[in-house]
Amino acid sequence: MSTVNKAEVTLGKIQYHLRVKPGDVGKYVLLPGDPARSDRVAKYLDNPQLIAHNREYRTFTGFYKGIKVSVTSTGIGCPSAAIAVEELANVDAEVFIRIGSSAALQPGMAIGDLVIACGAMKNEGTSRFYVPDVFPAVPDMDFTSVLIETARRLQPELHYGLHVGICASDDSFYGETQEWIEKLAGLGITNVEMESSAIFTVAHVRRRKAASICAVSGNLVTGEVIYEKENERLVEGWEKEIQVVLEAIYAYEQRQKSKAA
């Protein structure tokens, strides 16, 4: 019996979910969850073009300091994020950077702070389709080190708290019990979100690079949360993480050129 290999039949063609094709996206792709945040990224790019908007996936491509950069929203959760990475890899994207919102799990982390992941706890089912449970979910260390350096360099100018640690990627926003949150915090997990572990895993399997930076939306151990009104400090955090990532892309690209020279 012959079965369909989805990766092979879609490689190098217009993609089923994202509706992008080869040439549409840059080497670097920022990955917010919310489609509206694709528009936030686009305003920082030169000559941004809306490439496609299908389902939760909204893609712009433009240039930052001469570097072709794209942004594609992934929606909520690991399954849709994995699809985004797969289809973007099919059209030659190479570096994926999650730019998200995340709940803090440690004291001293405030709304609007930025947190960079050096690893992710896989509390989700998507990665199990790719690797065993014991396989770690880690970002690309070369790009992540540049991301951390850039975030530290811009911190005095942009004014944000900065944290680096292991995040948890959970499958259920409302299924997290108080006991579960306490367990994660007790393990020293810095923050909890819903996409990074799958992005790291799929990028690794596809031999691509991935990283993750999130703005703190609230703190689940101190009780500092905002659900009923616009979270203005979170919005400021989104803007700052976008600027950090774009500058990190430029710094990383310059470093790669220096190595090649």
Domains delineated in the chain: 6-260 (3.40.50.1580)
- Residue among 217, 257, 157, 214 at smallest CA distance from 30: 214
Mean pLDDT of each 10-residue bin along the chain, 261 residues long: 82 94 98 98 98 98 98 98 98 98 98 98 98 98 98 98 98 96 98 98 98 98 93 97 98 92 79
Tens of pLDDT along 94-124? 999 999 999 999 999 999 999 999 999 999 9
**Token output for 46:** 């030169």
pTM: 0.97
